Amino acid sequence: MKAKRLEGVMQGVFLFSALISVLSIILIIIFMFAGGVPFMMEYGIVDFLFGDRWSPSNTPSSFGILPMILGSIFVTIGAVVIGVPIGILTAVFMAEFCPPKLYKILKPATNLMAAIPSIVYGFFALQLIVPIMRNFSGGTGMNMLTAMILLGIMILPTVIGLSESSLRSVPRSYYTGSMALGATHERTVMKVIMPAAKSGIISSVILGVGRAIGETMAVVLIAGNQPIIPQSITSGVRTLTTNIVLEMAYAAGEHREALIATGVVLFVFILMINGLFMMIKRKESKA
Amino acid sequence: MSKISIKDMNLWYGDFQALHGVSLEIPQNEITAFIGPSGCGKSTLIKSLNRMNDLVEGCRIEGDILLDGKDIYKSNTNVNTLRKDVGMVFQQPNPFPMSIYNNIAYGPRTHGVKDKKELDEIVEKSLRDAAIWDEVKDDLNKNALSISGGQQQRICIARALAVQPEVLLMDEPTSALDPISTAKIEELVTELKEKYTIVMVTHNMQQASRVSDHTAFFFNGYIIESGDTRKMFTNPKKKQTEDYISGRFG
Ligand SMILES: Nc1ncnc2c1ncn2[C@@H]1O[C@H](COP(=O)(O)OP(=O)(O)OP(=O)(O)O)[C@@H](O)[C@H]1O
Ligand SMILES: [Mg+2]
């Protein structure tokens, strides 16, 4: 009887905990959309999304966020181009080629990379990448390429961690099956293990994209932050996230609403990325 | 004539000796069955014949294993060629998670066949030889994991045949299968011995006596008795063999 009651109480506790996270996501959605959507309607969605002038302090002010949308997309693509190949190859190395002694160092190191606060990455880039970039391309050294490199590094732990675990979860019988046909270890890894882990690897890339597009504090330090559509890879760039963090502190009225609406756009991006992630997961569990 | 000769072989996993002074002749174009209770070393010996034991850390071998008179453990042996010549089928069907066609073509591609037409021919021939062509010929692009376990096992046999081996090692190839699939594979194996030398591990005494020409009885890492299957099953020389065959232990 007593055990029964305890069970009931525990179930309540579990349910309550679960509800808290559901509740917070609902609150976030309500708050974001209530704060941002009315502004978008009033200002005009097309003008807002595809306007290329962001000048809140002009009269009349204009709030086009196309530069920031493109900035986020460009920077993320760059981060993927730089970070994903390195990340996947590192994961393959760690799962299939790494001597155990080296693994004991590499694994905690990549875990640590995931735990470093992003502002620290920002400092690192400011100290190291920015000066190099200044020598290499002139200007301030704070530009799109700098942001791409930094984000490429920052998505590594996500890509490595998930890819490695999906490589490791490939049944060993595939490996022995291939080796028994006279294939080399390398060929087995490339032609059997990696394709078998494909959906996990793709998921890791998608989560990496999510990380890159959402990153703020590191990017704001090194990207230049000009709200203009970048003309080249060495132009300064402002992303959706940095747009908000740069101006929220002093924004008021319409300006403030425009920033919340920027957040809504970012949120929609994240929703799409997560939707893609879930679709791939679902396909994986079906196969 | 012996296809494989095993001479006074000892094998260790780390400190544990799994095979003791094993000697055995495996005749060409015949079926040799390995029988014996669990843990007695059947898989260990069969894996030594294509050096899959190399993949086991801490595995060490003494003695000689000759394939066509050549020592396969000599340092200049090409392990990949050896495994092409001595194919293997596992207890659990393990087709790759790719199409049936690509499963069969994987081996030939590994060994350098690129021509599409040649691959098509090899795929068809291997599937025919494994007695599964009629069942899958319209589904070659289907994922090999989507067919039944018995069919998967025959796909694995076809995959092994596709690299034109001389010897086929089968470690309990039917223990995960239903009786009908088992019967199909037994029938297939008896046909395959025309072209291949076959070594098969089995826990099923009826299977050993139905299918094999020669039998080796293992116990605790020793081969207690080996020879003609019929003679051994009707008139075992050793008491232990008799007890095992008649089901008194194991
Ligand atoms: N990788 C390994 N490392 C250490 N010991 C092993 C390893 N593989 C097998 N052994 C041991 O070697 C002995 C022989 O094992 P083996 O797998 O050859 O037996 P088996 O006759 O095939 O048994 P079963 O009928 O259960 O398949 C067993 O005692 C087993 O525990
Ligand atoms: Mg075994």
Looking at the CA of B203, which ligand is closest? 1
pLDDT tens string A54-100: 999 888 899 999 999 999 999 999 999 999 999 999 999 999 999 99
Pairwise CB contact (< 8 Å): B96 & A177: yes
At B91 the pLDDT is 93
Secondary structure of residue A24 in the 3-state scheme: helix
pLDDT tens string B202-220: 999 999 999 999 999 999 9
At B166 the pLDDT is 96
pLDDT band at A1 (very low <50, low <70, confident <90, very high): low
Pairwise CB contact (< 8 Å): A183 & B96: no
Determine the average pLDDT of the residues in B35-59: 95
pLDDT band at A286 (very low <50, low <70, confident <90, very high): low
The 10 Å Cβ neighbour count of residue B167 is 21
- Our CA-based measurement puts residue A56 at a distance from the nearest CA of chain B, in whole angstroms, of 55
Question: Mean pLDDT in chain B?
Answer: 94
At A192 the pLDDT is 97
Rounded to the nearest angstrom, the gap between the alpha carbon of residue B217 and the centroid of all alpha carbons in its chain is 16
| Residue nearest ligand 1's atom 6 by CA | B13
Kindly state the percentage of chain A with pLDDT values over 70.
98
Determine the average pLDDT of the residues in B24-32: 96
Q: Does A190 touch chain B (CB under 8 A)?
A: no
How far apart, in Å, are the Cα atoms of A7 and each of A18, A19, A174, A284? Answer: 16, 18, 44, 35
Q: Does B92 touch chain A (CB under 8 A)?
A: yes
B39 Cα–ligand 2 center, Å = 7
CB B25 within 8 A of CB B207: no
Beta bridge partners of B143: B99
The 10 Å Cβ neighbour count of residue B21 is 13
Pairwise CB contact (< 8 Å): B92 & A173: yes
Pairwise CB contact (< 8 Å): A177 & B52: no
- A63 token code pair: 């709030």
CB A106 within 8 A of CB A149: no
Pairwise CB contact (< 8 Å): A191 & B106: yes
| Residue nearest ligand 1's atom 5 by CA | B13
How far from each other are the two terminal CA atoms of chain B, in whole angstroms? 32
Sequence-separated (6 or more) residues with CB below 8 Å from residue A8 = none
Determine the average pLDDT of the residues in B24-40: 95
DSSP class of residue A237 equals: B
What does the domain layout of chain B look like in residue ranges? 2-245
Chain A interface, best mutation among B47, B55, B102, by max A CB count within 10 A = B55
Distance, CA of A167 to CA of B97 (rounded, Å): 14
- A52 token code pair: 């290329």
Distance, CA of A85 to CA of A8 (rounded, Å): 50
**Sign of the Cα pseudo-torsion (A253, A255, A257, A260, in order):** negative
At B92 the pLDDT is 93
pLDDT band at B176 (very low <50, low <70, confident <90, very high): confident
Pairwise CB contact (< 8 Å): B84 & A181: yes
Q: Does A172 touch chain B (CB under 8 A)?
A: no
B40 Cα–ligand 1 center, Å = 7
At A211 the pLDDT is 95
Domain B2-245 sits in CATH at: 3.40.50.300
Q: Is the CB of B32 under 6 A from ligand 1?
A: no
| Residue A41 clears pLDDT 90, i.e. is over it | yes
The reply to whether ipTM tops 0.90 is yes
Q: Is the CB of B149 under 6 A from ligand 1?
A: no
Q: Which domains does chain A have, with CATH numbers?
A: 70-252 (1.10.3720.10)
At A236 the pLDDT is 94
Question: Mean pLDDT in chain A?
Answer: 94
Of B56-65, B173-182, B217-226, give the lowest mean pLDDT range.
Answer: B173-182
pLDDT band at B247 (very low <50, low <70, confident <90, very high): confident
At A58 the pLDDT is 85
Determine the average pLDDT of the residues in B107-121: 96
Chain A CB contacts of B80 below 8 Å: 182-184
Burial class (CB in 10 A: 0-12, 13-18, 19+), B31: buried
Q: Does A182 touch chain B (CB under 8 A)?
A: yes
Beta bridge partners of B70: B67
At A92 the pLDDT is 97
Q: Does A283 touch chain B (CB under 8 A)?
A: no
DSSP class of residue A63 equals: E
pLDDT band at B249 (very low <50, low <70, confident <90, very high): low
Q: Quote the pTM value.
A: 0.88
| Residue nearest ligand 1's atom 26 by CA | B38
Q: Does A181 touch chain B (CB under 8 A)?
A: yes
pLDDT band at A287 (very low <50, low <70, confident <90, very high): low
The 10 Å Cβ neighbour count of residue B22 is 24
| Residue B165 clears pLDDT 80, i.e. is over it | yes
B186 Cα–ligand 1 center, Å = 25
3 state SS for chain B:
CEEEEEEEEEEEECCEEEEEEEEEEEECCCEEEEECCCCCCHHHHHHHCCCHHHHCCCEEEEEEEEECCEECCCCCCCHHHHHHHEEEECCCCCCCCCEHHHHHHHHHHHCCCCCHHHHHHHHHHHHHHCCCHHHHCCCCCCEHHHCCHHHHHHHHHHHHHCCCCCEEEEECCCCCCCHHHHHHHHHHHHHHCCCCEEEEECCCHHHHHHHCCEEEEEECCEEEEEEEHHHHHHCCCCHHHHHHHCCCCC
- The full length of chain B comes to 250
Q: Is the CB of B202 under 6 A from ligand 1?
A: no
At A7 the pLDDT is 86
At A282 the pLDDT is 85
Sequence-separated (6 or more) residues with CB below 8 Å from residue A110 = A90, A94, A156, A157, A160, A161
Q: What are the b/e assignments for A226-245, b being 16+ CB within 10 Å? A: bbbbbeeebbbbbbbbbbbe
